[in-house]
Amino acid sequence: MPEIATRPGQQRFVAPLDETPLQDVDSVDLSAAPESQWKEAWKRMRKSPLFWISGTLLLVVAIVVAFPGLFTNADPSYENLSDSLAPAREGHPLGFTQQGGDVWARTLYGARASVAVGVFATLFVTIVGVITGAMAGFFGGWVDSVISRLSDIFFSIPLLLAAIVVISIINNVWPERQFWGSVFVVVGALALFAWPQITRQMRGAVLTVKNLEFVDAATAIGASRWKNLVRHIVPNAMAPVIVTATITLGVFIVAEATLSFLGLGLPRSSVVSWGNDIAAAQVLVRSGQHLEVMFVPATALAITVLAFILLGDAVREAFDPKARKK
């Protein structure tokens, strides 16, 4: 059993009366099952305007990802040089790329690959990062040492440089890839060297949270170490991770553009993606002409990232009652 003695810096605190109204406590329904944290969070989330705004945006993104053909009749992979940078005309509301592709259609169809790269890479780094970071921070000792050193190793290898080499190697052993194959190669190359960021963040947060009094309280009423970690510490330490993860999502989508710029991203021949189109349009931006060719996929990217960031805020606030506005 860990000691429960008061540590320096910990002050016991009694909430003012108006925050724990007696009448609520007086009418406890003993027969009701205690609500799970998730259920409570969902209840709170439903009341948050943030959640509804981000939810709507994400729904739109999801529909585009699933059914891009609903919004255009143009074929995104058809490119004809004689249409190069041509202005908008009927059926092609936003004009054409330098290669003569339909900007609007390519942006719609590009959502799938880009969102997939962002979401899967973020999921990967978040899951790995939260688990490893929580274990390192909570258990300390040799567990912390091993995880910290491993994350140091992976994080100290420059992401972009490593990704170049990793993709080279995979290209060589697996040259013919279809859509999902290509997506997961990029996801893997980006995520493999990015997870330690979340690990370190989580570790730092857990170090702080595990000394808070409610953990001591939980321990006092007999919660096991595991239960403490999973039920009390991790949820309370998630806030900074969620913030980082939602931004990272956007950063991953853009990183794919940088890889494409170096000829290592998703193959342009078989996959339409925002990153590819942004990379291809950078030459135009540099010369200050036809800015719209980059503007459209970049805006789509910004809106998608916005949706995820807002959702992140909403989720975080729902799980973390402290952050709620009074």
Binding segment for another protein among 58-66, 121-129, 221-229, 272-280 (CB under 8 A)?
Answer: 272-280
Query: Judged by CB under 8 A, which of 267, 293, 311, 319 binds another protein?
Result: 267
Q: Give the CA radius of gyration of the chain.
A: 24
166 in contact with another protein (CB under 8 A): yes
Question: Nearest distance from residue 240's CB to another protein, in Å?
Answer: 4
DSSP per-residue string spanning 200-217: HHHHHHHHHHTTSHHHHH
Q: For residues 20-79, which are near another protein according to CB under 8 A?
A: 78-79
In a 10 Å sphere around its CB, with 0-12 CB exposed, 13-18 middle and 19+ buried, how is residue 280 labelled? Answer: buried
Question: Nearest distance from residue 222's CB to another protein, in Å?
Answer: 24
Q: For residues 285-324, which are near another protein according to CB under 8 A?
A: 285-289, 294, 298-299, 301-302, 305-306, 309, 313, 316, 320, 322-324
SS3 annotation, 242-277: HHHHHHHHHHHHHHHHHHHHCCCCCCCCCCCCHHHH
How many angstroms separate the Cα of 286 from the Cα of each of 94, 261, 289, 290? 20, 14, 8, 10
223 in contact with another protein (CB under 8 A): no
Question: Nearest distance from residue 150's CB to another protein, in Å?
Answer: 8
- Return the closest-CA partner of residue 262 out of 243, 272, 275, 247: 275
Torsion of Cα atoms, 166 then 172 then 176 then 179, to 10°: 10
Site string for another protein, 177-206 (x = CB under 8 A): -------------------xx--xx--xx-
**Distance, CA of 84 to chain centre:** 35
Strand partners, 102: 96
Closer CB to another protein, 67 or 91, in the complex = 91
Query: Judged by CB under 8 A, which of 100, 181, 188, 235 binds another protein?
Result: 100
Question: Nearest distance from residue 183's CB to another protein, in Å?
Answer: 16
Q: How far is the C-alpha of 102 from the C-alpha of 99, rounded, in Å?
A: 9
Q: Residues touching another protein: how many (CB under 8 A)?
A: 92
217 in contact with another protein (CB under 8 A): no
Question: Nearest distance from residue 36's CB to another protein, in Å?
Answer: 22
Q: For residues 125-164, which are near another protein according to CB under 8 A?
A: 145, 148-150, 152-162, 164
92 in contact with another protein (CB under 8 A): no
SS3 173: helix
Question: Nearest distance from residue 131's CB to another protein, in Å?
Answer: 17
Query: Judged by CB under 8 A, which of 181, 188, 247, 292 binds another protein?
Result: 247
103 in contact with another protein (CB under 8 A): no
Query: Judged by CB under 8 A, which of 45, 92, 250, 315 binds another protein?
Result: 250
DSSP per-residue string spanning 17-37: GGGS-HHHHHT--TTSPPPPH
Query: Judged by CB under 8 A, which of 20, 37, 56, 208 binds another protein?
Result: 208
Q: Is the dihedral of CA 299, 303, 309, 310 positive or negative?
A: positive
How many angstroms separate the Cα of 155 from the Cα of each of 146, 197, 249? 14, 7, 18
